[in-house]
Amino acid sequence: MTHIAEPEKLLEKLATDLENLLEQRAIEKPLMVGIHTGGAWLAEKLHKQLKLEDDLSTLDISFYRDDFSRIGMNPQVKPSSLPPQVEDRHIILVDDVLQTGRTIRAAMNEIFDYGRPASITLACLIERSGREIPIQADVVGQALELSDNEQVKLIGPEPLAWEIKQTD
């Protein structure tokens, strides 16, 4: 069985690493955007820990996905909430698990529909094997090697916990 650190421990590491990276890059007043569902839960906690000024934003990328035939339509589409102006903003994009890269690509497509940000910093709690698109996180809680038939999912929002399932 693969060992995954507790989500709250990984969240502490993520917050520290993200704070250091923002300082290195001299990014002030970033806009934090969480991807529904797990990324939004994490973004809410990170937003508080980093004491960011701007309101937290969220994305539901259901209509931007390119893999409906594989994963099916998401029947519980939630509205995205981005400010009307993302042009030239520094964005922190937060997701729970980075695997194929398709969710992140879809999220960036939606963000660019609102405008062209100055930068996008990607923060993920888990970065696992299985990339299909060349996307990598800037800050990661834990890198994870799983077999092709294993799937990791963040459940929550309170308390946050991991679920590892075997697929066909």
Domains along the chain with CATH numbers: 7-166 (3.40.50.2020)
What's 40's DSSP letter? H
- Per-residue pLDDT reduced to its tens digit, 134-161: 999 999 999 998 888 889 999 999 999 9
- Per-residue pLDDT reduced to its tens digit, 2-41: 689 999 999 999 999 999 999 999 999 999 999 999 999 9
Which residue, 119, 65, 61, is CA-closest to 92? 119
Listed range (79-88, 92-101, 104-113) with the worst mean pLDDT: 79-88
Q: Phi, psi at residue 118, to the nearest 5°?
A: -70, -40
**Cβ neighbour number for residue 118 with a 10 Å cutoff:** 12
pLDDT at 104 over 70: yes
Residue 167 pLDDT class (50, 70, 90 cuts): confident
- pLDDT at position 64: 77
What angle, 0 to 180 degrees and rounded to 10, lies between the N-to-C axes of helices 38-50 and 7-24?
Answer: 60
pTM of the model: 0.91
Radius of gyration in angstroms for the set of CA atoms belonging to the chain, rounded to a whole number:
15
- Per-residue pLDDT reduced to its tens digit, 49-74: 999 999 999 999 887 756 554 555 55
**DSSP states along 96-120:** EEESSSHHHHHHHHHHHHH---SEE
- pLDDT at position 83: 74
